[in-house]
Amino acid sequence: MNKIIHKQHFSENVVQLIVEAPMIARSRRPGHFVIVIADEKGERIPLTIADSDPQAGTITLVIQAIGDSTRKICALSAGDCLHDVVGPLGRATHIENFGTVVCCGGGVGVAPLLPIIKALKLAGNRVISVLAARTRDLIILREQVAEYSDELIIMTDDGSDGQKGLVTDGVESVIQREHVDLVVTIGPAVMMKFVSLLTKKYDIPTVASLNTIMVDGTGMCGACRVTIDGVMKFVCVDGPEFDAHKVDFDEMIMRLRSYSD
Amino acid sequence: MSQLFSGQDIMNCNHSRDAQWRQQLRDQISAKERTAIPRAKMPELDPAYRITCNEEVNQGLDASQAVTEATRCLDCPDPQCITGCPVGIDIPGFIKNIQRGNFREAALVLKETSALPAVCGRVCPQERQCESRCIYLKMKKPAVAIGYLERFAADAMQHSGDDAIPACLPSNGMRVAVIGSGPAGLSFAGDMIKLGYDVTVYEALHQIGGVLKYGIPEFRLPNAVVDVEINALEKMGVKFVKNCIVGKTLSYETLRQNGFDGIFIASGAGLPRFMGIPGENLINILSSNEYLTRINLMGAGRPGWATPVPKGATVAIIGGGNTAMDSVRTAKRMGALRAIIVYRRSEEEMPARLEEIKHAKEEGVEFLTLHNPIEYIGDDKGHVRTMRLQRMQLGEPDASGRRSPVPVPGDIIDIDVDVVVVSVGVSPNPLIPDAFDGLDITRRGTLVVDDTLLTTLPRTYAGGDIVRGGATVILAMGDGRAAAKAMHTTLTKK
């Protein structure tokens, strides 16, 4: 059982939880995720670790209520427990000084993007962050992202904040203005697909963090399988990050709808 | 007799063949009378009823059936059955205790060498192990039903509420870590705790038991039966840490720093294989690991449980092993009207146990042998709708001696399907080798071990599927015993 130490609402449906998990807090690096089971009869769902505090023995999770399980987790209060938390899982993000990196995220994807932004900045990169959402209220972690970015660009569908437009509009404006060595993207699969198509056009290396359906998260089942450059890979052990230009996003988007009925 | 160690020294119970009570039992009935008794038949649930539920199909012998079956055993002076058992159970010792009505003693004899008798009595392929060496076969009669009797004794103990906890030696001050709580890890843990070690088992999943929990279905091995055996280990002092992935949650270095004197790696071969044919990533095509995990471990299909699982009128399972049989029989219970085994060789070559094949057939499973999928075709939403099968015929024997299947040119059929479960084998999980510096692996990804199951790292042993690739529960348990023996020898060497 893992106790919830602190809870904060980012918006109506997006919640940040600080959760007791001492062993995970110690071993976790940017890019890692956990599998969480809400209660005894709950399902195993993957959630990226947004932050951790090895001294306090806690990890930070950001959850959007979109289905039964995430709604249940979002409804928990400080003092409640998550039935199971296991991790850290997946391969950690490869961090080095690439030069100029554009980090773009949408929705709750900003939460897993934040530790990568932080690590890239600390490794000496020039970091330009592009955050996108439907509307102003849905932009999360703005101050934290700004703290570790050389520049922060906000994009909203309705123009209620920053510039009106999609994440790709923001990324393209940077590409046209200056040399970009790497793009990192985390968000809805459709968003990552279009970021990938854009950067392919400009031939800029791009990393996407894939968010597929998972069960065990340790390579046992293949629920999270994706096609990378024509070869089957498991997101939970081979990823979650891949060369975005090699990902078959259409297949991945199709498979995400496996249980939509 | 192939007593490995511990049993006799610790138990100090009088069940050797020379014991007076055994001599009396031998003198009671003539061999001729014994061999005239027909082999016990396992009572089973009716097929029409059992596919409507998840209840255990084999109901187990009752006490009088068990005593009669035990009477068949001739108590041979040189019992070959023991040599066929990978964990070296004193088979006549426990069977003769059943014959004299001392079921508790029978269970304790089993527990000397096996941490999981209630499990082995149910899932071991006895026809290829202990029962294949029974003297009755030489007389052209069916072997003594050792598996049924093992199950009977273990269940009798479980039902009596008695824990059947074998005695343990006093603490020797040494600590050992076990990676993985499947059959190999549990068997190792059981032997080491008896020898006085402080044992900690690390498990990646949220339940203890490995394949016994996520793989083998309730109708063959109820989880409650597994839990009784695990609780017994816990009462003996074995510590279990769930949700802990060695190599991720805890590094090898941390394990070493935590002062473990020895490590046993039993992380299994969890990585499912796929065939790599077009359309295999369509929706509702799953590995058998995923299908069975969702249902057995995660409760999919049961009211109130959150995990979903695909259902459909026609479910096809690709493969012919025990996992394929478990999957296809599960599909029947999940409401499939047609549940089909698709296998590229003929029924004769199927690796599944004969009993599983028989049960599957009774339950209405269709067998499409000498067929191999070559493509899946989906609808506009990406759901699989059709499997395209290539008819096969048996060609020349291959290196393994089995006749290899070859396509019949041009003979291709399409069958409508809603769900496909791919059960064509597993590969060793790379998680552990990736995390342990200096751990050598073979070309197949299994761990390199010497004949004492020592890996290329000091005082680090390995066994079960991480060494063998996909094998059986009892072979994994045998490895657990052998590794315990080898590690104990090393750690106590001056």
Q: What's the pLDDT band for B242 if we cut at 50, 70, 90? A: very high
Write out the two tokens for A193.
């697909």
Residue B287 with chain A: CB contacts under 8 Å: 221-222
Judging contacts by C-beta atoms under 8 Å, the chain A residues touching residue B286 are 221-223
- Chain B nearest C-alpha distance from A202 (Å): 30
| Residue numbers in A near B206 (CB within 8 A) | 37, 44, 83-84, 86
Read off the pLDDT of each residue in B460-485 and give the average, rounded to a whole number: 91
Burial of B444: CB neighbours in 10 Å, binned 0-12, 13-18, 19+:
exposed
Which residue has better confidence, B470 or A194? A194
pLDDT for residue B163: 67
Of A173, A175, A171, nearest to A191 (Cα)?
Answer: A171
pLDDT, residue B1, reads 32
Q: B307 and A222: CB-CB below 8 Å?
A: no
| H helices present in chain A, as ranges | 22-27, 68-74, 110-122, 142-147, 167-177, 189-201, 235-238, 249-256
Helices B103-113 and B91-99, axial angle in degrees (round to 10): 170
Least confident of A92-101, A224-233, B92-101, B265-274: B265-274
CA nearest neighbour of B335 among B50, B51, B49, B48: B51
| Percentage of residues of chain A with pLDDT beyond 70 | 100
B window 286-325, beta carbon within 8 A of A: 286-287, 289-290, 293-294, 298-299, 304-308, 310
> How many degrees, rounded to 5, is the angle at CA B228 between CA B223 and CA B230?
90
Of all residues in chain A, the one with the smallest CA distance to B287 is A221
Substitution target from A34, A70, A86, A220 for chain B, most B beta carbons within 10 A? A220
Distance CA B235, CA B339 (A): 42
Instruction: Report whether B236 contacts B190 (CB < 8 A).
Output: yes
Nearest C-alpha in A relative to B298: A43
DSSP symbol at B183:
H
Q: Extract the runs of DSSP E, i.e. beta strands, from B288-349.
A: 314-318, 338-343
Work out the mean pLDDT of chain A and round it to a whole number: 94
* Nearest CA-CA distance, residue A29 and chain B, Å: 11
Q: What are A20's two structure tokens?
A: 């007791």
A42 DSSP 8-state letter:
P
pLDDT at residue B5 tops 70 = no
State the count of interchain CB pairs (< 8 A) between A and B: 110
pLDDT of residue B252: 87
Q: What is the mean pLDDT of chain B?
A: 92
Q: How confident is the model at residue B223 (pLDDT cuts 50, 70, 90)?
A: very high
CA atoms within 13 Å, Cβ hemisphere of B277 = 15
Q: Is B3 on the interface with A (CB under 8 A)?
A: no
Report the candidate in A163, A159, A144 with the shortest Cα–Cα distance to residue A103. Answer: A144
Beta strands in B211-301 (DSSP E): 239-241, 262-265, 271-272, 285-287
**Whole-Å CA distances, A10 to A255, B5, B301:** 29, 61, 34
Confidence of residue A256 (pLDDT cuts 50, 70, 90): very high
Check B430 against A237: CB less than 8 A apart. yes
Euclidean distance between the first and the last CA atom of chain B, given in angstroms as a whole number: 28
| A165-176 mean pLDDT | 95
Pairing of strands A2-11, A14-20: antiparallel
Whole-angstrom distance, CA of residue B472 vs CA of residue B465: 8
Query: What is the distance between the alpha carbons of residues B395 and A110, in angstroms, rounded to a whole number?
Result: 57
For residues A22 and A20, give the distance between their C-alpha atoms in angstroms, rounded to a whole number.
6
Rounded to an integer, the average pLDDT of B425-448 is 88
Overall average pLDDT of the A120-140 stretch: 93
Predicted confidence band of residue B3 (pLDDT cuts 50, 70, 90): very low
Q: What does the pLDDT read at residue B494?
A: 62
- Report pLDDT for B13: 52
B430 contact A CB<8A: yes
Q: Taking the model in full, what pTM does it have?
A: 0.93
Q: Minimal Cα distance from A37: which residue of B?
A: B206
Tokens of B396: 């020349």
Cβ separation of A219 and B382 shorter than 8 Å?
no
Interface of A with B in 182-201 (CB under 8 A): none
pLDDT number for residue B402? 76
Contacts of A257 in chain B (CB under 8 A): 283, 381-382
